[in-house]
């Protein structure tokens, strides 16, 4: 293949790096960074879906303070973090310890435990709506053992608890895999030394395993707390679009979706709620990372 000097030089022109990166930069800029900036700007306007907004200063945020629904949303999203995160930090670790040893059939169990991660949240939500139904499997079992039927999906607090359970159930396998990778790096000599010193399984777990996977626990804590605070689908599917009895189960992201979409959507106000979501998300991350550093010192 004969190549002229001109074409050889042209092929080395510095445009091509940008050509490589252009599609990615374009999409990221147009659909992530621009909407991010525009959310920050819109939060200070009274923009609606069909009406361009005017600058209204802090009016949206002042309205938030007096909006009962906002406080309900903030409460529920916060409760969600408090309820879900400890479970998602501890349970997958125990599960990882259970599937760590290479006993016969263990790969089957590992894969089976991961199945809920693969399924769509809509599928998972609807499966649990049917399981926890007034006449569903869980209530049938409860009745069979004599406990009686429980209104998992009709009581405001039980609904929230049920939705938390679903998020934990769906997340177990994912974090289990993360922990498995971390456990593989725990030197086995540490366990042996502890065993020789007469430490039982529980003691070895607390004195060897936990310290060794501590940084992974912090990672899981950070990831799951951000995911929990942004909860939408679980509650939307189980409590319905209006968020359960009198909207008492509404979460912040549900409120964003409800306020900001549709032809009459209040884009400005929904953006103000989004800004709160950003701020709390970042704060949660910093909190978890700081707690981590304090533990270390």
Near other proteins in 69-98, by CB under 8 A: 95, 98
CB of 158 to other proteins, least distance (A): 18
CB of 73 to other proteins, least distance (A): 13
CB contact at 8 A, 96 and 180: yes
Residues 36-55 as x/- pattern, contact with other proteins by CB under 8 A: x-xx--x------x------
CB of 261 to other proteins, least distance (A): 5
Regarding 265 and contact with other proteins (CB under 8 A), the answer is yes
CB of 211 to other proteins, least distance (A): 18
Regarding 30 and contact with other proteins (CB under 8 A), the answer is yes
Q: Which helix (H) or strand (E) holds 9?
A: helix 5-11
Closest to other proteins by CB, 130 vs 157, is 130
Regarding 33 and contact with other proteins (CB under 8 A), the answer is yes
CB of 297 to other proteins, least distance (A): 25
Closest to other proteins by CB, 83 vs 116, is 116
3-state per-residue secondary structure call for 75-129? HHHHHHHHHHHHHHHHHHHHHHHHHHCCCCCHHHHHHHHHHHHHCCHHHHHHHHH
CB of 118 to other proteins, least distance (A): 5
CB of 248 to other proteins, least distance (A): 20
The span of 61-69, 205-213, 242-250, 270-278 binding other proteins (CB under 8 A) equals: 270-278
3-state per-residue secondary structure call for the chain? CCCCHHHHHHHCCCHHHHHHHHHHHHHHHHHHHHHHHHHHHHCCECCCCCCCCCECCCHHHHHHHCCHHHHHHHHHHHHHHHHHHHHHHHHHHHHHHHHHCCCCCHHHHHHHHHHHHHCCHHHHHHHHHHHCCCCCHHHHHHHHCCCCCCCCCCCHHHHHHHHHHHHHHHHHHHHHHHHHHHHCCCCHHHHHHHHHCCCCHHHHHHHHHHHHCHHHHHHHHHHHHHHHHCCCHHHHHHHCCCCCHHHCCCCHHHHHHHHHCCCCCCHHHHHHHHHHHHHHHHHHHHHHHHHHHHHHC
Q: Which of residues 87-146 bind other proteins (CB under 8 A)?
A: 95, 98-99, 101-104, 106, 109, 111-116, 118-123, 126-131, 133, 135-137, 139-141, 143-144
Closest to other proteins by CB, 105 vs 297, is 105
Interface residue with other proteins among 2, 4, 5, 12 (CB under 8 A) is: 12
- Please tell me the count of residues contacting other proteins according to CB under 8 A: 102
Closest to other proteins by CB, 207 vs 281, is 281
CB of 25 to other proteins, least distance (A): 6
Regarding 171 and contact with other proteins (CB under 8 A), the answer is no
Regarding 181 and contact with other proteins (CB under 8 A), the answer is yes
Query: How many Cβ atoms are within 10 Å of 281's Cβ, its own excluded?
Result: 15
Q: Which of residues 194-213 bind other proteins (CB under 8 A)?
A: 195-196
Interface residue with other proteins among 55, 71, 157, 278 (CB under 8 A) is: 278
The two three-digit tokens of residue 294, written as one number:
């304090």
């Amino acid at each position: 293949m004969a190549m002229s000097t001109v074409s050889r030089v042209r092929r080395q022109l510095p445009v091509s790096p940008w050509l490589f990166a252009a599609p990615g930069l374009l999409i990221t800029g147009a659909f992530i960074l621009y909407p991010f900036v525009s959310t920050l700007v819109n939060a200070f306007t009274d923009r609606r879906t069909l009406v361009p907004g005017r600058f209204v200063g802090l009016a949206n945020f002042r309205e938030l303070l007096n909006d009962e629904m906002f406080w309900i949303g903030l409460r529920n999203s916060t409760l969600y973090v408090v309820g879900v995160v400890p479970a998602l930090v501890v349970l997958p670790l125990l599960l990882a310890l259970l599937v760590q040893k290479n006993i016969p059939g263990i790969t089957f169990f590992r894969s089976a435990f991961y199945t809920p991660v693969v399924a769509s949240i809509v599928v998972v939500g609807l499966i649990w709506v049917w399981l926890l139904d007034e006449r569903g499997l869980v209530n049938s079992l409860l009745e069979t053992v004599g406990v009686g039927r429980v209104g998992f999906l009709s009581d405001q607090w039980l609904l929230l608890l049920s939705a938390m359970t679903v998020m934990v159930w769906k997340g177990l396998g994912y974090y289990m895999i993360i922990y498995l990778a971390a456990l593989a790096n725990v030197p086995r000599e540490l366990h042996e030394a502890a065993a020789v010193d007469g430490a039982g399984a529980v003691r070895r777990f607390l004195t060897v395993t936990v310290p060794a996977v501590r940084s992974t626990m912090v990672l899981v804590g950070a990831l799951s707390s951000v995911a929990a605070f942004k909860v939408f689908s679980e509650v939307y599917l189980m409590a319905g679009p209006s968020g359960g009895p009198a909207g008492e189960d509404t979460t912040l992201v549900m409120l964003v979706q409800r306020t900001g979409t549709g032809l009459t959507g209040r884009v400005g106000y929904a953006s103000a709620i989004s800004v709160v979501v950003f701020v709390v998300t970042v704060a949660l991350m910093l909190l978890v990372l700081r707690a981590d550093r304090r533990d270390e010192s």
